Structure 1
Amino acid sequence: MVNLEGLPNPDKIFDSWYPILIGIVIGVLYGFRAYFRGAQCYSATKLTGKTAIVTGASSGIGEQIALDFAQRGARVILACKNEEAAKETVEYIKRKSKKKHDVVVLPLDLSSFKSIRKFVETFKTMENKLHILVNNAGTMMGPQKETEDKFEEQFQVNYLGHFLLTNLLLDVMKSSGSGRIINVTASAYKLGEINFDDINGEKEAEFNSGKQFSQCKLAVILFSQELARRLEGTGINVYCANPGITNTNIHRHFVFKTNAFVSLSFSPFTWFLMKSAYDGAQTAIHCAVADEVKDSTGKYYSECNEAVLESQAIDDDLAKKLWQESVKWTRLERDATAVKSLNSGDS
């Protein structure tokens, strides 16, 4: 016989409401945490034989996207500015995915048109196929900074650099038979306005980094829609993915990242209310692999579902004007490989 002497009496547990209340609180907190994590991509699609490029893949969302693609069997090119961090990511992905040779780093600095052109040239000497391009790299609300190409850093890194990169890679994607382009945006686009007369925000009385960030994220959506229109019938689909509020290095200029005391104080809240990089990657992964979106193009996705856009983001005339100006800003017409794709959608 088991000796129960000295053990708590189970019947006494219900003499107090505290255990029940504690259980309810834990359950509610777990439910809220699951809600803030957002939707997950459950597609089992394999990417064996496919080649993918992920920009900004040395950390955060880009790292998780690259890992997912590698685990599905793809050859993954990490297009990153920080080569040392990217090399560490390669080793991490190889360990997690058991892939030894199909995860490589190519240097890419989106704040330099020269670097973008060099990246494309190098890629084309290495590869003859490209099936997935994820334009994920970005910067957010840092101090005012001008790139070597004379553009405000956020506008070039988040939008204009990806515009150039995508157009220079279209010939390879078209020759691959089919493909998907995923452009990462943010809910801040809702506050955006494309100011063609002051695209760098230089005429403002005081530089507004938030306004510039909203502008470039709106530009990403307009670009995605115009690109989808120009690629109709080619087998290449375009998607715009909103990862949600994610706790990654993109917030490196925010006080909860720069101040050690504030960071420590707010760490429980950032963990609870913000997505992890894994969770933030899910919508972009869904757009890249899910069968249910294979016949969709030019759409905006949030939480792995198609979402409704604000009116300023579905203005066809604005999208066409932005495209035309972007061609001039990037001097894209001088790139022979891009001329055909540029002219194909001008009607």
Structure 2
Amino acid sequence: MWRWSDLGTVLVPLLRLYMCGIKVLLYQVFNKSFTLPVLPRQSGRVAIVTGGTRGMGFETARSLAHLGMHVIIAGNEPEEGAAAVGKIRQEDAEGKVEFVFLDLTSLKSVRQFVQKFKSRRLPLHVLVNNAGTMLVPELQTEDGFEFHFCLNYLGHFLLTNLLLDDLKKSGRPGRSSRIVNMSSATHYAGVINMDDLNRRACYSSHGAYAQSKLALVLFTYRLQEQLTSGGFSVSVSAVDPGMVDTALYDNLWSLAQALKKPVAKVLFRTPAEGASISILAAVSAEMEGVGACYLYNGERRPSSPLSYDAELQAELWKKSCQLCGLQEA
């Protein structure tokens, strides 16, 4: 039942999120997208890109394949996957590209994907956790999780942890394996309610989305701390692509959707420009051995003060392990 006391719970995250959006747009008015440096060849290396069938994920997969990588596009739309693979192959990419089914809203599907990958005994040098959704109505996954929380964060948390041994074995000093987590400026508006991660007390799609993107940054920093203390050659970065003209905005309410279309053509980044930050983190020489950072427009930037809370990082990690049925590291 709706209560007037819930109004602030809904409006505050909405206003915070749109203020973040306005700040990003103003930045993009006065600053062009950065230009990628010359990137080293990636022949013989293997990458997994989630959500790689379209938008920024596709552009990331395409670029990595052109650098000579064996790219596995992981997604839940087989027809889109086949089309993406066909398009990259037609461009005479030097690397190999393929599609493998993965539904990040299903923990069972994540485990099946990992099992299938491990059975091939391939190395794994790059994992790009790109897939995401934004501002969907209140939905629960088959495991009972809030949709944004599971697709954007928890599914990637499980995927990364199950693939961590492969990433550790594939990295070496001077050429580390890399994990790239797709966050966004909305994480600055995010809060984590450890007692209600599924946001059942009072649902706000804006709050749920911002929470999922903040969770990815907290996860990035906690994971890098563990990897560094263990002496492993694996680096983890959170990246922010800015506001990019992709299908991510299809769930905006009607008026915002109408306003978005003309604005996007002028002020939003293209999917290729947005993907540049993921590609930079995944393979550039300047990011070798650099982890626990938040990247925006080609530069390391401070993330939200809340994202540096070590106690919150540890608490979220512990809770995520419990939710996924993982033994806490």
2:273 equivalent to 1:279: yes
Deviation of the 1:256 alpha carbon: 6.3
- Contact 1:55 / 1:137 at 8 angstroms: preserved in 2? yes
Q: Give 1:96-135 correspondences, 5 Å limit.
A: 96-99=91-94, 102-135=96-129
- Who is 1:187 aligned against? 185
- Contact 2:244 / 2:271 at 8 angstroms: preserved in 1? yes
Equivalent-residue separation in structure 2 for 1:166 and 1:215 (angstroms): 19
2:207 to 198, 206, 211: 211
- Who is 2:17 aligned against? none
Equivalent-residue separation in structure 1 for 2:142 and 2:155 (angstroms): 12
- Deviation by residue 1:256-302 (Cα, 9 ceiling, x = unmatched): 6997xx3xx75432111111100000111111111112131111100
- Contact 1:55 / 1:80 at 8 angstroms: preserved in 2? yes
2:269 equivalent to 1:269: no
CA pair 242-97 structure 1, distance change in 2 beyond 3 A: farther
- Who is 1:76 aligned against? 71
TM-score under structure 2 normalisation?
Answer: 0.86
- Who is 2:5 aligned against? none
- Who is 1:304 aligned against? 298
- Contact 1:136 / 1:183 at 8 angstroms: preserved in 2? yes
- Deviation by residue 1:27-85 (Cα, 9 ceiling, x = unmatched): xxxxx988565212123211111000000001000000000000000000000011110
Equivalent-residue separation in structure 1 for 2:253 and 2:312 (angstroms): 35
Equivalent-residue separation in structure 1 for 2:306 and 2:96 (angstroms): 41
Q: CA RMSD in A?
A: 1.9
Equivalent-residue separation in structure 2 for 1:174 and 1:238 (angstroms): 12
- Contact 2:39 / 2:285 at 8 angstroms: preserved in 1? no
Spell out structure 1 runs of 4+ moving beyond 6 A: 256-259
- Contact 2:29 / 2:267 at 8 angstroms: preserved in 1? no
Q: Give 1:156-305 correspondences, 5 Å limit.
A: 156-177=150-171, 178-204=176-202, 207-232=203-228, 233-255=231-253, 262=258, 267-305=261-299
1:137 to 131, 134, 138: 131
Q: Which runs of 5+ in 1 are unaligned?
A: 1-31, 334-341
Q: Percent identity?
A: 34
TM-score under structure 1 normalisation?
Answer: 0.82
Q: Which runs of 5+ in 2 are unaligned?
A: 1-26
- Who is 2:312 aligned against? 318
Which of the two has higher C-alpha Rg? Answer: 1
CA pair 175-327 structure 1, distance change in 2 beyond 3 A: same
Letter in 1 for 2:234: I
- Contact 2:28 / 2:268 at 8 angstroms: preserved in 1? no
- Deviation by residue 1:225-260 (Cα, 9 ceiling, x = unmatched): 00001111200000110011001111121246997x
Equivalent-residue separation in structure 2 for 1:266 and 1:289 (angstroms): 32
- Who is 1:55 aligned against? 50
Equivalent-residue separation in structure 2 for 1:153 and 1:37 (angstroms): 33
**Helix, strand or coil for the counterpart of 1:145?**
coil
Bigger mean CA offset, 188-197 vs 289-298: 289-298
